[in-house]
Structure 1
Amino acid sequence: MDIRKTNLLELFKKLKKVYGVALDRELTLDAASLSFYSIFALIPLLLILMTFLTSMDFFLDVYKEIQNIILANFLPVNHEIIMGYINDFLQNSVEMGVFSFSMLFVSSLLFFQTYEYIVNNIFKAPQRDFIHSVSIYILMIIITPLSLAVAFSISVYIASAMAMNTYTSSIDILPIIPNIIIWVLFFILFKLSANVKIKFGAAFISSFVVSVAFTIIKNMFIYYIFINKSYTTLYGSFSIVIFLFLWIYVSWFIFLHGLRLCNYLNNKKSLK
């Protein structure tokens, strides 16, 4: 009985610890802060990303597919309507003046500074200087679309090769390609964001766990939206914007807990 009681107490302590981490007040506030700045930085970040993707011939063949994957995962509800609004904003941004461009630049800078502060705070890492921070941001902007395009191309090539093989023709990996793309995206962000050396194993495992959790919660979120008609009835078409803001917050909440997991694994001596 004493052994069983001890085991139950240990289990209770572990569950209490997990519960405390999951509902960490600091992370919830950090997710809210990043959500706020994401709203203002969304257009300039998409403008930079899509300009980079469309400026190189290599990306033109996979640009539409990558765009659809990103939208389906990060704008899971009514993403066609929201993307229509975003495309209008992007077209207007081409004609904006120096003052408007400066405001977009400042909003992006504030987002990155807030993001870096929160990430380094999670990893207990020192803050980067301004020049180093800007160079990391540029590197992430370049590497992220490049890695997504390469991952998509490799996945499609493997799927085509398996389809042509007699033994593997019945296996269809195309449905999981979006999940692979999201996993690669999380891996890059986990590996580069913090001002500390991140072990490959820590970034690999934590990004996989977060990508799985992200996919599951995204499907639960979509299901909740469809069965809960109260927001649509109350707010009408404006509910699309509310759902977008809510999902941005949920996404950051998942991502920040993934960073905390990455930090935990990074400090374990068994991982290299």
Structure 2
Amino acid sequence: MDWFPHRVHLFLHYIHYLVKRVNHDRLTVNAGYMAYITLLSLVPLTTVLLTALSRIPTFADAGDQIQDFIFRNFVPAAGETVQSMFTVFIANTAKMTTIGLAFLFVAALLLISSIDSNLNYIWRSKKKRARVYSFSLYWTVLTLGPIFVGASIVVSSYITGLRIISDDAINFFYQALPILFSFSAFFGLYMFVPNLKVRVTHALTGALIAGILFEVSKKGFAIYITQFPTYELIYGALSAVPILFVWVYLCWFIVLVGAEITASLGEKELWHEETPYQAKWFVKTTDKLKKTSPNRGDSSDSPDTKSE
């Protein structure tokens, strides 16, 4: 049993290091920045995804199913109101010119670029991707992403249409599907977005914790909105707007916390530092990080202020 006190001691050191790392990286500020960018890019990104799906005959009718699935399972409490608003917004984009649609595409790219920048900041990755490679990566996400989403909806509809599957199994499948999607999304972000090698076990751990936090937050947020309708009393019919912003902010905070957990698991040599992220610590550990990974460096620049 000698290993147990050692494990507890190591875990406490890790929690201390993780808290200091989160405070240093200003996750609350960055989550607000990402929420703002998301709200600006959400309609353009949705428009691009639905347009891409409509070009494929097999997935032409999957757009409405995707919207219903997302707002029902990932936007608690105010999902129906927000969905009706987005339906109007997306319908208005049909009146736009080619130049306007081009700006929508650029806005969608802005969100993906911001995700890439913030996650690589958390991993202290200083290695820059070539602009051509970055653009091709973002283009792939915007073009292949809708195909995978549409394919998953079509497969789900096919599975539920099979007579050999019981109603209980179908209900369990639909209940597990949002959890599986959120876990897969977290794992993909933590495993493939950082511009350095991430261990699979670390990405799985971060995705698992982020997924649990997301599900708990979704239930808790829905209870809060329904039991304490503060926003509805203040904003009335416009209450869906601040509710959506708060929820998107909370989602991004969870995403960034999961990223911090994943990144910090790969920095075990720094867990025992007594005063992490202080001036003396910073000078001493910068060399350690560089030796650990050639793509790591210091974290003195904020993701939204560092030069391209």
Q: Report the CA distance between 1:9 and its aligned residue.
A: 7.7
> 2:87 maps to what in 1?
87
User: How many residues align structurally?
Assistant: 263
> 1:34 maps to what in 2?
34
Name structure 2 gaps, 5 residues minimum: 269-308
Normalising to structure 2: TM-score of the pair? 0.71
> 1:188 maps to what in 2?
188
Q: Report the CA distance between 1:115 and its aligned residue.
A: 2.3
CA, structure 1 residues 143+203, in 2 after alignment: closer, same or farther (shift >3 Å)?
farther
> 1:96 maps to what in 2?
96
Q: 1:130 is aligned with what amino acid?
A: R
Find the residue that maps to 1:76 and give its secondary structure.
coil
**Could you tell me whether the CA contact under 8 Å between 1:202 and 1:265 is conserved in 2?**
yes
CA distance in 1 between partners of 2:24 and 2:74 (Å): 23
Name structure 1 gaps, 5 residues minimum: none
CA, structure 1 residues 266+85, in 2 after alignment: closer, same or farther (shift >3 Å)?
same
Matched-pair identity in %: 24
Which deviates more, 255-264 or 28-37? 255-264
Which deviates more, 210-219 or 107-116? 107-116
Find the residue that maps to 2:27 and give its secondary structure.
helix
CA, structure 1 residues 10+133, in 2 after alignment: closer, same or farther (shift >3 Å)?
closer
RMSD between aligned residues: 3.4
Highest relative contact order (Cα 8 Å, sep 6+), 1 or 2? 2
**Could you tell me whether the CA contact under 8 Å between 1:191 and 1:200 is conserved in 2?**
yes
Find the residue that maps to 1:194 and give its secondary structure.
coil
CA distance in 1 between partners of 2:104 and 2:25 (Å): 30
Normalising to structure 1: TM-score of the pair? 0.79
**Could you tell me whether the CA contact under 8 Å between 2:18 and 2:264 is conserved in 1?**
no
CA, structure 1 residues 57+187, in 2 after alignment: closer, same or farther (shift >3 Å)?
farther
Q: 1:142 is aligned with what amino acid?
A: T
CA distance in 1 between partners of 2:58 and 2:98 (Å): 31
* 1:47-68 Cα distance to aligned partner (Å, 9 max, x none): 1111222322333465444322
Find the residue that maps to 1:127 and give its secondary structure.
coil
**Could you tell me whether the CA contact under 8 Å between 2:77 and 2:226 is conserved in 1?**
no
CA, structure 1 residues 146+198, in 2 after alignment: closer, same or farther (shift >3 Å)?
farther
CA distance in 2 between partners of 1:171 and 1:12 (Å): 41
> 1:228 maps to what in 2?
228
CA, structure 1 residues 155+213, in 2 after alignment: closer, same or farther (shift >3 Å)?
farther
CA distance in 2 between partners of 1:237 and 1:91 (Å): 21
Q: Report the CA distance between 1:251 and its aligned residue.
A: 0.7
Q: Report the CA distance between 1:200 and its aligned residue.
A: 3.5
* 1:196-243 Cα distance to aligned partner (Å, 9 max, x none): 233443333322332222111111011111111222112212221000
> 1:248 maps to what in 2?
248
CA distance in 1 between partners of 2:183 and 2:12 (Å): 32
CA, structure 1 residues 11+182, in 2 after alignment: closer, same or farther (shift >3 Å)?
closer
Q: Report the CA distance between 1:94 and its aligned residue.
A: 1.9
> 2:259 maps to what in 1?
259
CA distance in 1 between partners of 2:38 and 2:52 (Å): 20
> 1:142 maps to what in 2?
143
**Could you tell me whether the CA contact under 8 Å between 2:49 and 2:142 is conserved in 1?**
yes
> 2:71 maps to what in 1?
71
Q: 1:203 is aligned with what amino acid?
A: A
CA, structure 1 residues 171+231, in 2 after alignment: closer, same or farther (shift >3 Å)?
closer
* 1:164-187 Cα distance to aligned partner (Å, 9 max, x none): 48xx96993332122112222333
Q: Report the CA distance between 1:161 and its aligned residue.
A: 7.4
CA distance in 1 between partners of 2:79 and 2:171 (Å): 29
**Could you tell me whether the CA contact under 8 Å between 1:147 and 1:184 is conserved in 2?**
no
Q: Report the CA distance between 1:137 and its aligned residue.
A: 0.9
Q: 1:258 is aligned with what amino acid?
A: G
* 1:22-53 Cα distance to aligned partner (Å, 9 max, x none): 55552111111111111111111001111222
1:197-216 equivalences under 5 Å are: 197-216=197-216
Which deviates more, 49-58 or 252-261? 49-58
CA distance in 1 between partners of 2:180 and 2:7 (Å): 38
CA distance in 2 between partners of 1:9 and 1:200 (Å): 25
CA distance in 1 between partners of 2:264 and 2:9 (Å): 23
Which deviates more, 67-76 or 244-253? 67-76
Q: 1:180 is aligned with what amino acid?
A: L
**Could you tell me whether the CA contact under 8 Å between 2:27 and 2:256 is conserved in 1?**
yes
